[in-house]
Structure 1
Amino acid sequence: DLDNKITAIADYIFNHTEAESTNEDEIWVDSYEVCTFLKISEKTLQRLRVAGTIAYSNIRGRYFYKISEVKRMLEERLIKSNKENIQDLITNHHLYVKERRNLRKDK
C-alpha cells in the first residue's frame, strides 16, 4: 500500500514538473503526427523535406520535426492549416508520450 502511494506521488510530481518545464516549441513530433493533425499528406511533407523548406531530424529511418518548425511553416503560409490543428498536434503528442510511458511502466 505504501509503495502504491509513493508511486502515485512520484508520478504526480514527474508529470507536473515535465509539463511546466517543457517549452512547446521545443517538442519533437514525428511525420505521422504532423500529417494527421495538420491534415497534410506524407508526400507533401516529403516535398518540404527534399526542398529544404522544413528542418528535421532522421533517427533510424523516422523523421522528426520541432513544433517551432511546424509553426513557422504555418506562419509563412507554406502549408495550409489553422491554429486549432497545431494545438491538436501538441495536445495529442502529450497524450501519446504519456501513453508510451505508462506502457513501459507496465512491463
Structure 2
Amino acid sequence: MRSILANKKVETKDRQWLRSAEVRQMLGISAGTLQNLRINGTLPYQKIGGTMYYRSEDIETMMKGRAGHG
C-alpha cells in the first residue's frame, strides 16, 4: 500500500496542473480552507468546465511564502 501512495505522490509532483482533491491531500487542508485560499487570492487557479486546476509552481510558491510566517 505504501508503494502505491509513494507512486501517487511522485505523479502529482511531476505534473504541472493539479485538481482540487490532489491539492487538498498534498497540503492536508479541507475543501473550505482551499476555497479561502482561492477567494483571498493566495492560490491562483484556473476553472475549466466545472473543475478547478492549480499549478504546482503556484502551490510551491505559496508554501515557501507561508514558511517564513511561522
By relative contact order (CA 8 Å, sep 6+), the higher-ranking structure is 2
In the other structure, the counterpart of 2:55 is: 66
Q: Extract unaligned runs of 5+ from structure 2.
A: 1-12
Q: Once the 2 structures are TM-superposed, how far is the Cα of residue 26 of structure 1 from its aligned partner?
A: 6.7
Correspondences of 1:82-93 after superposition (within 5 Å)? none
Please state which structure has a larger fraction of its residues in strand. 2
CA contact (8 A) 1:28 1:67 kept: yes
In the other structure, the counterpart of 2:39 is: 50
* Letter matched to residue 19 of structure 2: D
Give the greater-gyration-radius structure (CA): 1
Q: Extract unaligned runs of 5+ from structure 1.
A: 1-23, 79-107
Structure 1 length normalisation: TM-score?
0.47
Structure 2 length normalisation: TM-score?
0.70
* Letter matched to residue 37 of structure 2: L
Moved segments of 4+, more than 2 Å: none
- In structure 2, the CA distance between the partners of 1:25 and 1:55, relative to structure 1 (3 Å rule), is farther
* Letter matched to residue 26 of structure 2: F
Residue-pair matches, total:
55
> What is the CA RMSD across the aligned residues, in angstroms?
1.9
CA contact (8 A) 1:57 1:63 kept: yes
Aligned residues with identical type, % of pairs: 38
